[in-house]
């Protein structure tokens, strides 16, 4: 009933198909009466544009088989086979239409021959409705092995899965464990790939990517390149294969670094055919270049032994006859221009023989029950089952080899492996899946002379500081350390010299120790993977952090404490008077900073210690090598888990000290105190350190990925800070000591007395001048006294004569403004250069400087620049160094 309804509904379609494609062709060597004829239907893909057009050679092969079968008297005695066929173009829709046409047009067909997987899938799924057995001579789809879906299907063509064990075998043989798959989106290839994936997984082969395409493979091929696919299994029909190959050429996925596995049933010159017709945008030469070296696997379709087969022919005889038949159809066989399906022609030939043998067997069986094949109808399930059983048990030696069908209806076959060498296919060997036997001819040829790699070999190269840079920075650091040690010795040796003594030698030594640590850290900064194993690197990281932090604190802290004290002295003196600088206050400051550092560093190293971290850079090409390798540069860094937090705390704390030091240095820029004689030079050194630190820290963060630049920058900053600090603090001292080897004459630095050499000279000249003036005063007083006596005598005489009052001169008993005692002690120092007055210029009235030797340190002069000058002997104001 179901079938009848189907018949009815398709009648219109069949009628249309007949009108469009014309009546079916009939192949029969003889012209027997219709009573003696068994009719079979055939569907051949011949004139299509895509897929497999193997009917071009398979249809003539089937025709030859019909001739041979019908010529045999022992086969189907008294009966002839007749083939009614049409072209499906390997299009499933057209194939279905052709099938309906064949089935709904008389005479009754007993079996269906079909080729091309897509068509076979369609017709075999429908044929069960007509109780028809389908025999596929050209269908490789593994999906066709599903007995539930295709219960009446048999095929002489092996399933495409027979290639997969062979592919796996080759991958293992050549050591490829990373492959890619490119497939056309057709069920035949999808099911083949599924099988291949399962087998790869079993064999431990990684499938790096699986790309598919409908008709345009451009994107899929591009993706293969992106994925660095080297060994690629390509599954597509030949028209798509030509498009793929052209894209392979364009994307340069060919040559010594690539291996392609193609399907072996394309014709030998498939990559040169129909390029214009199919609008392939590559020349023959380009296609040849891209195709060179590829491997193919294919089930054996031609009997390899020169045995006589059931038909009485060897496969060579069959080839001859087929070639003749094809020549008659105008194929240029002499020039090796074979039609599509030439490889599968023996399968079509053997398929017809299998039909004949099965019919023969069925006939015998039906004869015994008084039935005949000739009475078969599409509803005759019983006879259909008999035909099924007969073909299922059919075995014979055909021109394609031993013909037998598995329980899934599949053909069991050997596979052959070929390689394209110099534009020709060369047989490399055979693989028997059943016995896992690989017969190898050792004829493979690789473009580079060696087996291509399945991936780019990535070599990890650790980026290290260049040796020259490390050595040069190291050398400068060593010089710096030696110089610092020499200065420590100098500082200790001359600690009693006033110039050193008043600069706080212990503070100087602390600063120099800090300098040594900082310069030592330059070595640690350059110690990387070149010298230290990965396991030892965290220790280097921690040593670097400790050394640089403590070095900085000692070096900078010592200088900071000096400017701090100067600032304190100048601000406190107003209230408390000038005090002596207590050394312990300086050490306390440095010690405090040092302890804070130790606590911070301990917390950091205990809670979240510095570890070796690796920065990976993009792959690079090696400078020059023929090998297929890439370089992956790596750079070591010292990082803890919460690196940013720790660096933030440490840099924040140090940054504050730097900024505060900068402020103090600025505030005390014009002040020189006798208690810390080098504060101005120290201030300059602080400026230098602050500026360099503030520039270096952010720059190093930015260039951290460039090992040479960041090392050079960091090392130079440290070296520059250290050298300049040492120079600013010690060069004047050294110069002074060289200039004045004896302590006495160190007048310039003799600030304890509060008098410089010039002041002393000036003092002596003032004393002399004072003596002169005192003598002058004495003379004048004598004169006055004499004059006074004279006046008194005159007045006495006058009084004696006229009795008048004394004159106005009587009020001049004392000299005006020059009391004898006051003149001696207070001098108008009109010649001392002071403050803003030019040398030799008189100071404004009222600026009375006490005697330098007897002055009270508390005598105030008045505020200048916000500071109170308590005594000319305590502070000296000079031009700011800013």
Smallest separation (angstroms) from ligand ABU to the CB of 162? 11
**Own/partner pairs, 715-720, CB within 8 angstroms, 24+ separation:** 715/473, 715/477, 715/522, 715/525, 715/526, 716/473, 717/692, 717/693, 718/477, 718/518, 718/519, 718/521, 718/522, 718/548, 719/473, 719/476, 719/477, 719/480, 719/519, 719/522, 720/688, 720/692
Smallest separation (angstroms) from ligand ABU to the CB of 153? 13
Pick the stretch among 134-142, 351-359, 407-415, 535-543 that binds ligand ABU (CB under 6 A).
134-142
Buried b (16+ CB within 10 A) or exposed e, 231-249: bbbbbbbbbbbbbbbbbbb
The Cα–Cα gap between 880 and 669 comes to 6
Smallest separation (angstroms) from ligand ABU to the CB of 120? 7
Residue 340 is a binding residue for ligand ABU (CB under 6 A): no
Which residue in the set 38, 76, 188, 548 belongs to the binding site for ligand ABU (CB under 6 A)?
188
Which residue in the set 262, 265, 338, 681 belongs to the binding site for ligand ABU (CB under 6 A)?
265
Residue entry with tokens 């009546």? 23
Smallest separation (angstroms) from ligand ABU to the CB of 626? 39
Residue 205 is a binding residue for ligand ABU (CB under 6 A): no
H-run or E-run covering 785 = helix 757-801
Smallest separation (angstroms) from ligand ABU to the CB of 621? 42
Which residues, listed in sequence order, are joined to residue 430 by a DSSP beta bridge? 416, 439
The Cα–Cα gap between 518 and 511 comes to 11
The Cα–Cα gap between 413 and 156 comes to 10
Nearer to ligand ABU, 81 or 351 (CB): 351
Nearer to ligand ABU, 52 or 564 (CB): 52
Smallest separation (angstroms) from ligand ABU to the CB of 298? 8
Nearer to ligand ABU, 297 or 553 (CB): 297
Site size toward ligand ABU (CB under 6 A) is 12
Which of left, alpha, beta for 492 (phi over 0: left; psi -120 to 50: alpha)? alpha
User: Are the beta carbons of 52 and 237 closer than 8 angstroms?
Assistant: yes
Which residue in the set 102, 139, 300, 390 belongs to the binding site for ligand ABU (CB under 6 A)?
139
What mask of x and - would describe binding to ligand ABU in positions 341 to 370, judged by CB under 6 A? ---x--------------------------
User: Are the beta carbons of 297 and 163 closer than 8 angstroms?
Assistant: yes
Considering only residues 54 to 83 of the shown chain, the ones binding ligand ABU according to CB under 6 A are: 54
Which residue in the set 10, 42, 52, 416 belongs to the binding site for ligand ABU (CB under 6 A)?
52
Q: For the chain, what percentages of helix, strand and coil (3-state, to nearest 5) are there? A: 50, 15, 35
Residues in Cβ contact with 515 at an 8 Å cutoff, skipping those fewer than 6 apart: 480, 481, 484, 551, 555, 722, 725, 726
Nearer to ligand ABU, 60 or 551 (CB): 60
Which residue in the set 70, 97, 140, 323 belongs to the binding site for ligand ABU (CB under 6 A)?
140
Nearer to ligand ABU, 298 or 386 (CB): 298
What is the per-residue DSSP string for 651-699?
HHHHHHHHHHHHHHHHHTTTEEESSSTTHHHHHHHHHHHHHHHHHHHHH
Smallest separation (angstroms) from ligand ABU to the CB of 138? 5
Residues in Cβ contact with 795 at an 8 Å cutoff, skipping those fewer than 6 apart: 806, 807
Smallest separation (angstroms) from ligand ABU to the CB of 418? 15
Smallest separation (angstroms) from ligand ABU to the CB of 432? 20
User: Are the beta carbons of 570 and 668 closer than 8 angstroms?
Assistant: yes
Nearer to ligand ABU, 52 or 730 (CB): 52
Pick the stretch among 133-141, 286-294, 426-434, 855-863 that binds ligand ABU (CB under 6 A).
133-141
C-beta atoms surrounding 408 within 10 Å: 15
Pick the stretch among 137-145, 505-513, 604-612, 787-795 that binds ligand ABU (CB under 6 A).
137-145
Nearer to ligand ABU, 160 or 693 (CB): 160
Smallest separation (angstroms) from ligand ABU to the CB of 134? 14
Residues in Cβ contact with 647 at an 8 Å cutoff, skipping those fewer than 6 apart: none
What mask of x and - would describe binding to ligand ABU in positions 218 to 257, judged by CB under 6 A? ----------------------------------------
Smallest separation (angstroms) from ligand ABU to the CB of 145? 12
The Cα–Cα gap between 490 and 487 comes to 5
Smallest separation (angstroms) from ligand ABU to the CB of 302? 13
Pick the stretch among 132-140, 309-317, 376-384, 606-614 that binds ligand ABU (CB under 6 A).
132-140
Smallest separation (angstroms) from ligand ABU to the CB of 62? 15
Considering only residues 534 to 593 of the shown chain, the ones binding ligand ABU according to CB under 6 A are: none
Residue 205 tokens read as 């082969």
Smallest separation (angstroms) from ligand ABU to the CB of 312? 26
What torsion do the CA atoms of 250, 253, 257, 259 make, to the nearest 10 degrees? -130
What mask of x and - would describe binding to ligand ABU in positions 110 to 129, judged by CB under 6 A? ------xx------------
Smallest separation (angstroms) from ligand ABU to the CB of 116? 4
C-beta atoms surrounding 628 within 10 Å: 16
The Cα–Cα gap between 441 and 435 comes to 18
Considering only residues 153 to 182 of the shown chain, the ones binding ligand ABU according to CB under 6 A are: 157
Nearer to ligand ABU, 51 or 852 (CB): 51
Pick the stretch among 135-143, 283-291, 630-638, 715-723 that binds ligand ABU (CB under 6 A).
135-143
CA 251 to chain centre: 23
Which residues, listed in sequence order, are joined to residue 181 by a DSSP beta bridge? 210, 233
User: Are the beta carbons of 572 and 867 closer than 8 angstroms?
Assistant: no
Nearer to ligand ABU, 139 or 673 (CB): 139
Residue 257 tokens read as 């670094």
Which residues, listed in sequence order, are joined to residue 664 by a DSSP beta bridge? none
Per CB under 6 A, residues contacting ligand ABU are 52, 54, 116-117, 138-141, 157, 188, 265, 344
């Amino acid at each position: 009933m179901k079938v009848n309804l189907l018949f009815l509904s398709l009648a219109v379609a069949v009628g249309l198909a007949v009108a469009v494609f014309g009546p079916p062709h009939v192949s029969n060597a003889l012209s027997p009466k219709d009573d003696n004829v068994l009719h079979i239907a055939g569907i051949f893909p011949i004139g299509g544009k895509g897929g497999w057009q193997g009917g071009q050679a398979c249809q003539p092969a089937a025709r030859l088989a019909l001739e041979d079968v019908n010529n045999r008297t022992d086969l189907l005695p008294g009966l002839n086979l007749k083939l009614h066929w049409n072209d499906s173009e390997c299009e499933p829709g057209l194939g279905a239409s052709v099938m309906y046409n064949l089935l709904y047009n008389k005479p009754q067909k007993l079996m269906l021959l079909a080729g091309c997987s897509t068509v076979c899938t369609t017709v075999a799924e429908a044929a069960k409705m007509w109780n028809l057995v389908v025999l596929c001579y050209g269908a490789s789809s593994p999906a066709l092995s599903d007995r539930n879906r295709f219960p009446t299907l048999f095929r002489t063509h092996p399933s495409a899965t027979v290639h997969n064990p062979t592919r796996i075998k080759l991958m293992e043989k050549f050591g490829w464990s990373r492959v890619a798959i490119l497939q056309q989106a057709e069920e035949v290839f999808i099911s083949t790939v599924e099988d291949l994936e399962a087998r790869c997984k079993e064999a431990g082969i990684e499938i790096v990517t699986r790309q598919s395409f409908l008709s345009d493979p451009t994107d899929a091929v591009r993706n293969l390149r992106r994925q660095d696919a080297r060994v690629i299994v390509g599954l597509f029909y030949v028209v798509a294969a030509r498009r793929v190959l052209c894209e392979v050429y364009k994307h340069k996925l060919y040559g010594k670094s690539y291996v392609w596995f193609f399907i072996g049933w394309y014709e030998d010159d498939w990559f040169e055919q129909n390029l214009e017709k199919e609008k392939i945008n590559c020349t023959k030469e380009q296609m040849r270049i891209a195709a060179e070296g590829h491997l193919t696997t294919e089930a054996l379709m031609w009997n390899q032994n020169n045995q006589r087969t059931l038909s009485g022919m060897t496969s060579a005889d069959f080839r001859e006859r087929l070639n003749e038949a094809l020549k008659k159809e105008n194929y240029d066989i002499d020039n090796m221009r074979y039609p599509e399906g030439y490889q599968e022609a023996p399968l079509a030939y053997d398929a017809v023989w299998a039909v004949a043998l099965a019919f023969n067997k069925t006939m015998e069986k039906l004869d015994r029950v008084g039935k005949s094949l000739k009475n078969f109808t599409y509803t005759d399930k019983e006879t259909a089952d008999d035909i099924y059983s007969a073909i299922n048990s059919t075995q014979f030696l055909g021109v394609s080899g031993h013909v037998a069908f598995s329980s899934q209806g599949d053909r069991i076959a050997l596979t052959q492996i070929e390689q394209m060498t110099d534009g020709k296919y060369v047989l490399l060997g055979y693989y028997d899946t059943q016995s896992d036997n690989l017969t190898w001819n050792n004829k493979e040829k690789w473009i580079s002379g060696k087996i291509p790699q399945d991936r780019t070999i990535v070599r990890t190269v650790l980026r290290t500081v260049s040796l020259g840079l490390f050595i040069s920075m190291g050398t400068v650091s060593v010089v710096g350390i030696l110089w610092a040690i020499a200065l420590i010795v100098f500082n200790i040796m001359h600690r009693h010299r006033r110039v050193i003594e008043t600069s706080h030698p212990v503070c100087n030594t602390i600063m120099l120790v800090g300098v040594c640590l900082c310069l030592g850290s330059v070595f640690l900064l350059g110690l990387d993977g070149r010298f230290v194993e990965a396991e030892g690197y965290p220790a280097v990281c921690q040593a670097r952090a400790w050394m640089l932090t403590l070095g900085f604190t000692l070096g900078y802290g010592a200088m900071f404490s000096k400017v701090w004290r100067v600032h304190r002295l100048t601000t406190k003196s107003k209230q408390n008077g000038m005090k002596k600088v207590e050394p312990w206050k300086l050490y306390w400051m440095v010690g405090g900073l040092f302890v804070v550092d130790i606590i911070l560093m301990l917390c950091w190293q205990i809670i979240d210690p510095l570890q070796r971290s690796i920065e990976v850079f993009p792959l690079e090409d090696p400078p020059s090598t023929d090998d297929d390798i890439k370089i992956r540069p790596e750079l070591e860094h010292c990082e803890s888990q919460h690196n940013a937090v720790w660096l933030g705390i440490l840099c924040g704390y140090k940054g504050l000290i730097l900024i505060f030091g900068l402020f103090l240095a600025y505030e005390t820029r014009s002040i020189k105190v006798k208690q810390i004689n080098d504060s101005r030079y120290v201030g300059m050194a602080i400026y230098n350190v602050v500026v360099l630190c503030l520039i270096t820290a952010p720059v190093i963060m930015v260039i951290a990925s460039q090992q040479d630049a960041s090392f050079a920058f960091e090392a130079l900053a440290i070296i520059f800070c250290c050298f300049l600090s040492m120079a600013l603090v010690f060069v004047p001292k050294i110069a002074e000591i060289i200039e004045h080897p004896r302590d006495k004459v160190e007048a310039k630095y003799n600030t304890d007395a509060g008098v410089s050499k010039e002041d002393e000279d000036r003092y002596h000249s003032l004393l002399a001048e004072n003596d002169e003036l005192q003598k002058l005063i004495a003379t004048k007083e004598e004169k006055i006294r004499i004059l006074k006596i004279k006046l008194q005598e005159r007045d006495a005489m006058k009084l004696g004569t006229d009795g008048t009052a004394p004159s106005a001169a009587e009020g001049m008993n004392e000299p005006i403004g020059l009391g004898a005692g006051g003149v001696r002690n207070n001098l108008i120092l009109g010649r001392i250069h002071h403050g803003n007055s030019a040398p030799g210029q008189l100071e404004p009235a009222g600026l009375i400087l006490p005697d330098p030797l007897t002055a009270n340190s508390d005598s105030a002069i008045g505020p200048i620049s916000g500071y109170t000058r308590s005594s000319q002997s305590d502070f000296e104001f000079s031009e700011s160094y800013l």
